[in-house]
């Protein structure tokens, strides 16, 4: 079976997703298939690795864990049964502070922080579709990093809705309300080419 064999108008579940053995990486958003961009470019990977490293270093000896893609995040709506889950995402970086959400397949439930690095061609998926499902699922912080513009926006969940930070750039310092005491220096992050 290939990705072309699937009916793009059908609603799929994690049970379907788990059986697929495509060469292409895909995500499910509300049961719909979204192809992931081809292998990310070097800059995307560099930013992903640097953010992962900074968070991992900060979390040493703490209860939260940080993961980097590919890592399945399943966002259940009704039940945690694979046949009922219609949203499965692979954030570039995610932080989970509740160990009960972790299993051998990845994370089931909302991570505390999701980081997405924009790639050319995936902006609509990241900025609209994923924003909506992360907000609905209760992801406490959603970080959007644009390598092209060297900008950073932090969305913080308040009363079930995301509140956006101002657009941050090199010279700004990112502080997380989830990771008390964590800071990310955007001058250092964007300064590497």
- Per residue in 170-182, pLDDT (tens digit) is 999 999 999 999 9
Average pLDDT rounded to a whole number, residues 57-81? 95
Span of 72-86, 113-127, 158-172 with lowest mean pLDDT: 113-127
User: What is the pTM for the complete model shown?
Assistant: 0.90
Q: Say yes or no to pLDDT of 111 above 90.
A: yes
Residue 123 — pLDDT band, cuts 50, 70, 90? low
Q: Which residues contact 17 (CB under 8 A, 6 or more apart)?
A: 26, 28, 88
- Is the pLDDT at 18 greater than 90? The verdict is no
Mean pLDDT, residues 79-99 taken together: 95
Mean pLDDT of the chain, nearest integer: 91
Q: What's the pLDDT at 191? A: 87
- Can you spell out the DSSP letters for 95-144? EE--GGGEETTEEES--SEEEEE--TT-HHIIIIIIHHHHHHHT-SEEEE
Can you list the domains of the chain with their CATH numbers? 41-76+85-191 (3.90.1570.10)
């Amino acid at each position: 079976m290939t990705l072309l064999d699937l009916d793009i108008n059908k609603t799929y579940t994690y049970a379907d997703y788990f059986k697929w053995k495509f060469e292409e990486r895909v995500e499910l958003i509300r049961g719909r298939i979204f192809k992931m961009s081809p292998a990310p470019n070097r800059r995307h990977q560099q930013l992903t690795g640097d953010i992962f490293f900074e968070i991992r270093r900060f979390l040493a000896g703490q209860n939260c864990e940080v993961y980097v893609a590919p890592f399945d995040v399943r966002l259940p709506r009704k039940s945690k049964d694979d046949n009922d889950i219609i949203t499965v995402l692979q954030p570039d970086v995610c932080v989970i502070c509740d160990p009960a959400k972790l299993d051998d397949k990845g994370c089931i439930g909302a991570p505390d922080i999701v980081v997405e690095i924009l790639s050319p061609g995936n902006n609509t998926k990241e900025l609209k579709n994923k924003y909506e499902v992360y907000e609905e699922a209760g992801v406490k912080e959603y970080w959007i990093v644009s390598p092209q513009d060297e900008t950073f926006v932090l969305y913080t969940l308040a009363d079930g809705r995301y509140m956006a930070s101002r657009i941050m750039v090199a010279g700004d310092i990112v502080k997380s309300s989830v990771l008390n005491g964590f800071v990310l220096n955007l001058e250092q992050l964007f300064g590497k080419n």
